[in-house]
Amino acid sequence: MIITAVKVFLLQKQLTSSMHISRGGFSVRRHVIVEVHTDEGVTGLGEGVGNARLIKAILEEQMGQLSIGLNPFDIETLRHKLIDSQVYLERKGSAICAASAIEMACWDIKGKALNIPVYQLLGGLYQDKIEAYASDIYWEDDPADMSKNAIRIISKGFRTIKAHVGRKSPKLDIERVKILRESIGNDVNLMIDLNGGYSSLEAYQAAQLWEQFNLMWLEEPLDPNQVDALSDLRSRIRIPIAAGENEFRLHGFKELFDKNAVDIAMPDIARVGGIQETRNICNLAEAYGIPVSPHNFSSGILLAATIHLQASTPNTTLLEYDTSDNAIYEDLLIEPLKIEGGYVTVPSHPGLGVELRKDILERYAVK
């Protein structure tokens, strides 16, 4: 079997609710989807997450062509060809995101061709249900609006939620953290995501002020380039630090681990280099005693890939689940997910269990 074509689609969906974070916000969600074709008629879907238009250009201008003629079963050969065979090595950024999309699609092809779910290719089924946390509370001018959203989410059965704050100083945003904790009670886990918006001093102040609210973790408190500062912050605060959605490949996470910069690692399959790269990171994290909760905030294709990875990987915890209805999410799944009591049942369709139907393209594709 060989790859004969790589088709690239840019899908876009208008927001139905606000998504304000510490460093701004956005009005639409965009997803770069690849459809990899083979000479045996089997196709696979993958996704790259980041600067959507730039990733699309990389896929169309070069990386898609580099894939043609390769065997999608030979994942390591494909990874080497796309990422490590060029004269000037791409260590981080959109090129890695683009390669992630093609690599993901090849796992989908492999599972479909063998008529087994991808998790069986990754070591087999380790857990058939995965606890999920809801990632859908964004900064609002009125903290009461954040409270209402939190109550809506826990009414669906989720026992862990994440909120994005940090548009104001730690002293001013404490009212948002406080009202969230009061709204959900002490039995529901609360995470705070700063999206890299605070300075070292602000993040330290936030940790001191917000520790009283029993936070499960503080996510991306600093600019992801400031690894030494992140390590220093972790050594001085008691709230666990989660980070990694803006890190790339195994070596990037080794630096985070060597410098004791994180308590929870958050690689994104569609950014970090693909499914195999994420598995390598999970194995490395296990050696350091660090749990992995993959970043998973894009379309249903990344959602499916993350579920298959977590289903087969012991050192993973908590599936990030977007409850906002702002992404092209379950539209891309062959069958809706079963979610009960905050746990997602792992589906068993061959491949990743995703499809790109004609009606989805007609509704969301950017011409």
Instruction: Please report, in tens digits, the pLDDT of each residue of the chain (367 residues total).
Output: 999 999 999 999 999 887 999 998 888 999 999 999 999 999 999 999 999 999 999 999 999 999 999 999 999 999 999 999 886 888 999 999 999 999 999 999 999 999 999 999 999 999 999 999 999 899 999 999 999 999 999 999 999 999 999 999 999 999 999 999 999 999 999 999 999 999 999 999 999 999 999 999 999 999 999 999 999 999 999 999 999 999 999 999 999 999 999 999 999 999 999 999 999 999 999 999 999 999 999 999 999 999 999 999 999 999 999 999 999 999 999 999 999 999 999 999 999 999 999 999 999 999 8
Q: Do residues 235 and 332 both lie within one domain?
A: yes
| Per-residue confidence (pLDDT) for residue 363, from 0 to 100 | 96
Alpha helices in the chain (DSSP H): 52-58, 64-67, 75-79, 94-114, 118-121, 143-154, 170-184, 200-210, 227-236, 249-258, 269-272, 275-288, 300-312, 358-364
Tokens of 361: 């393209």
Q: Do residues 132 and 216 both lie within one domain?
A: yes
352 belongs to a structural domain: no
Q: Do residues 145 and 268 both lie within one domain?
A: yes
Kindly give, in sequence order, each residue whose CB lies less than 8 Å from that of residue 253, ignoring residues fewer than 6 positions away: 244, 247, 265, 267, 281, 284, 285
| Per-residue confidence (pLDDT) for residue 55, from 0 to 100 | 98
Q: Do residues 48 and 154 both lie within one domain?
A: no
Q: Do residues 126 and 90 both lie within one domain?
A: no
Measuring CA to CA, which residue among 322, 250, 215 is closest to residue 96? 250
Q: Do residues 77 and 162 both lie within one domain?
A: no
Q: Do residues 61 and 154 both lie within one domain?
A: no
Can you tell me whether residue 24 is helix, strand or coil?
A: strand
Is the CB of residue 33 less than 8 Å from the CB of residue 102? Answer: no
Give the separation between CA 332 and CA 46, rounded to whole angstroms.
Answer: 11
φ, ψ dihedrals at 128, nearest 5°: -95, -5
| Per-residue confidence (pLDDT) for residue 18, from 0 to 100 | 78
Q: Do residues 92 and 228 both lie within one domain?
A: no
Can you tell me whether residue 37 is helix, strand or coil?
A: strand
233 belongs to a structural domain: yes
| Per-residue confidence (pLDDT) for residue 27, from 0 to 100 | 85
Give the separation between CA 310 and CA 316, rounded to whole angstroms.
Answer: 6
Measuring CA to CA, which residue among 129, 146, 208 is closest to residue 180? 146
**What is the residue range of 32's domain?**
3-116+358-364
Question: How many Cα atoms within 13 Å fall on the side-chain side of residue 176?
Answer: 27
Tokens of 319: 């599936």
Give the separation between CA 344 and CA 333, rounded to whole angstroms.
Answer: 14
| Per-residue confidence (pLDDT) for residue 26, from 0 to 100 | 81
351 belongs to a structural domain: no
| Per-residue confidence (pLDDT) for residue 89, from 0 to 100 | 85
Measuring CA to CA, which residue among 47, 36, 32 is closest to residue 100? 47
Q: Do residues 125 and 112 both lie within one domain?
A: no
State the CATH number of the domain containing residue 7: 3.30.390.10
Q: Do residues 52 and 184 both lie within one domain?
A: no
Q: Do residues 40 and 103 both lie within one domain?
A: yes
The number of domains in the chain is 2
